[in-house]
Structure 1
Amino acid sequence: MTTFDRRDLLKGAGAAALATGLGTPALAQAAGKVVVGTWGGDYARLLTKNIEDPILKPKGMEVVQDQAGDAPRRAKMVAERRLPRGTVDIQGLSAANMYEMNEAGVIETLDYSKIPNAKNLLPTMKYPYGIGHIYSGNVVIYNPKIISPAPTGFKDWLDPKHGNKIGFIDIQYQSIMIAASMAATGGKDMNDLDKAKEILMAVKKAGARVYPTNEAFAAAMKNEEIGISAIWKARVVQWQNAGIPCEAVSPVEGIPAYVSGFVIQKNAPNKDNAYAYMNAMLEKAPQEAFAVDMGYNGTVTGLTVAPDLQKRIGFTPEEEKQLRDLDYGFLAKNDSAMKEWWDKVFKA
Structure 2
Amino acid sequence: MKKFKAMVALLLCASMLAACSNGGNSSSSSSQGADDASGEKPVLVVSNFALADDRIKDTVIKPFEEKYNCTVVYEGGTNGERLTKLKNDPNTDVDVIYLAQQYAQQGVDAGLFEEIDYSRIPNAEYLLEKADFLKESKQGPAVTMNRLGIIYNPEKAGEITSFADIWKEEYRDQVAIPDISTTFGPAMVTVASNYAGVDYATDGGEAAFKALEELKPNIVKTYSKSSDLKNMFSSGEISVALAAEFAYNTMGDSNTNLVFIDPTEGAYLNFNTVNIVKNSDQKDLAYEFINYVLSEENQLDAALNVPESAVNTQVEIPEEAAKKLTTVETANQSNIVDFSVVNPLLENWVDMWNKTLNQ
Q: TM-score range by the shorter chain?
A: 0.7 to 0.9
Contact 1:140 1:229 in 2 (8 A): yes
Q: What is residue 162 of structure 1 aligned with on the other side?
A: 171
Name the CA shift for 1:304/1:243 in 2 (closer, same or farther; >3 Å).
farther
TM-score (norm 2): 0.74
Q: Which runs of 5+ in 1 are unaligned?
A: 1-17
Aligned-partner SS, 1:180:
helix
- Are 1:339 and 2:350 matched, yes or no? yes
Which residue matches 2:286?
A: 274
Amino acid at match of 2:123: N
C-alpha change, 1:46 and 1:347, in structure 2 (3 Å) is: farther
Q: Which residue of 1 aligns with 2:221?
A: 209
CA pair 239-31 structure 1, distance change in 2 beyond 3 A: same
Measured after TM superposition, the shift of residue 190 of structure 1 is 6.0
Q: Show CA shifts across 1:113-158 (max 9, x none).
A: 44343333334435212111112332111122332x1211111234
Shift of 1:67: 0.5
Displacement of 1:287: 0.7
1:341: Cα distance to partner? 2.8
Aligned residue type for 2:341: F
1:63 equivalent to 2:73? Answer: yes
The residue aligned with 1:129 is 139
Q: 2:49: which partner in 1?
A: 39
2:338 corresponding residue in structure 1: 327
The whole-number CA distance in structure 2 between the counterparts of 1:160 and 1:88 is: 50
What secondary structure sits across from 1:179 in the alignment?
A: helix
- Tell me the residue number matched to 1:106: 112
Contact persistence 2:149–2:261 (CA under 8 A): yes
CA distance in 2: counterparts of 1:320 and 1:62, whole angstroms: 32
Cα distance in 2 between the residues matched to 1:213 and 1:65: 22
**1:85-234 → structure 2 map (5 Å cutoff):** 85-126=91-132, 127=135, 128-147=138-157, 149-159=158-168, 161-170=170-179, 171=182, 172-185=184-197, 189=199, 193-234=205-246
4+ runs deviating over 6 angstroms: none
Q: TM-score, structure 1 length as denominator? A: 0.76
Distance 1:123 1:152 in 2: 26
Deviations 1:141-195 (A, max 9, x none): 1122332x1211111234454333311333132121112222332xx74656222
Gaps of 5+ in 2: 1-31
SS at match of 2:278: coil
Contact 1:234 1:294 in 2 (8 A): no
Query: How much has 1:223 moved relative to structure 2?
Result: 4.3
Aligned counterpart, 2:29? none
Q: Alignment partner of 2:237: what SS?
A: coil
**1:75 and 2:81 aligned:** no
Give the corresponding residue for 1:7.
none
Whole-angstrom CA distance in 2 between matches of 1:123 and 1:265: 25
Change (3 A) 1:273 1:340: farther
| Partner in structure 1 of residue 266 of structure 2 | 254
Indicate the residue corresponding to 1:304 in structure 2. 316
1:259 Cα deviation from its structure 2 partner: 1.4
List per-residue Cα deviations over 1:264-286 (Å, max 9, x = no partner).
22123543443333122112222
For 1:5-24, list aligned pairs within 5 A: none
Aligned 8 A contact 1:57 1:63 in 2 = no
> Secondary structure in 1 aligned to 2:263?
coil
Distance change in 2, residues 1:161/1:77 (3 Å): farther
Residue 99 of structure 2 aligns to a residue whose secondary structure is strand
**Would the aligned equivalents of 1:144 and 1:247 in 2 still touch at CA under 8 Å?**
yes
Letter in 2 for 1:97: Y
